[in-house]
Amino acid sequence: MICSGNCASCPVPLLFLAGGKRAKSRIKKEYTKPIQKKRLASQFIFLFITNAAFIFGVTGLIYPYFYCWEAPQATMSCPIGIMEHAVLETSIALALILTGTIFIVSSIFGRAACGWACPIGFLQDLIGKDKKKNKKGMSERDRKARYIKYAILAAIPPVVYITGTMAYTNICPIGGLTATIPILLLSPGGYTPTAFFIPKITLVALTIFLIVFVRRGWCKYLCPVGAMMGPFNKVSLLQIKFDESKCLKCYNCAIACPMDINMPYDNKSAECIRCGLCIDACPTDALKFGFTWQ
Q: Which of 52, 53, 54, 50 is nearest to 66 (CA)?
A: 50
Q: What are phi and psi of 201, to 5 degrees?
A: -65, -35
85 interface partner picked from ligand SF4, another protein, none, CB below 5 to 8 A per type: another protein
Q: For residues 30 and 281, what is the distance between their CA atoms, to the nearest angstrom?
A: 11
Residues forming a β-bridge with 271: none
Among positions 40, 78, 120, 127, the unique one binding ligand SF4 when judged by CB under 6 A: 120
Size of the site for ligand SF4 (CB under 6 A): 39
Least distance to ligand SF4, CB of residue 195, Å: 26
Residue window 56-75: x/- pattern of binding to ligand SF4, with contact defined by CB under 6 A? ---------xx---------
Q: For residues 86 and 77, what is the distance between their CA atoms, to the nearest angstrom?
A: 13
Residues found near another protein in the complex (CB under 8 A): 1, 58-62, 68-70, 74, 76-77, 81-82, 84-85, 88-89, 91-101, 103-104, 106-108, 160, 164-166, 169-170, 175-176, 179-180, 183-184, 189-197, 200-201, 232, 235-237, 293-294
Q: For residues 153 and 100, what is the distance between their CA atoms, to the nearest angstrom?
A: 17
Distances in Å between the alpha carbon of 140 and those of 85, 234, 262? 36, 21, 11
Give the footprint of ligand SF4 on residues 247-286 (CB under 6 A).
247-253, 256-259, 261, 263-264, 272-278, 281-284, 286
Q: For residues 130 and 132, what is the distance between their CA atoms, to the nearest angstrom?
A: 7
Of 194 and 245, which has the nearer Cβ to another protein? 194
Could you tell me the maximum CA-CA distance found in the chain, to the nearest angstrom?
64
Give the footprint of ligand SF4 on residues 198-237 (CB under 6 A).
218-219, 223, 225-226
Say if CB 173 and CB 203 are below 8 A apart.
yes
Q: For residues 160 and 42, what is the distance between their CA atoms, to the nearest angstrom?
A: 34
Least distance to ligand SF4, CB of residue 89, Å: 24
Of 84 and 280, which has the nearer Cβ to another protein? 84
217 interface partner picked from another protein, ligand SF4, none, CB below 5 to 8 A per type: none
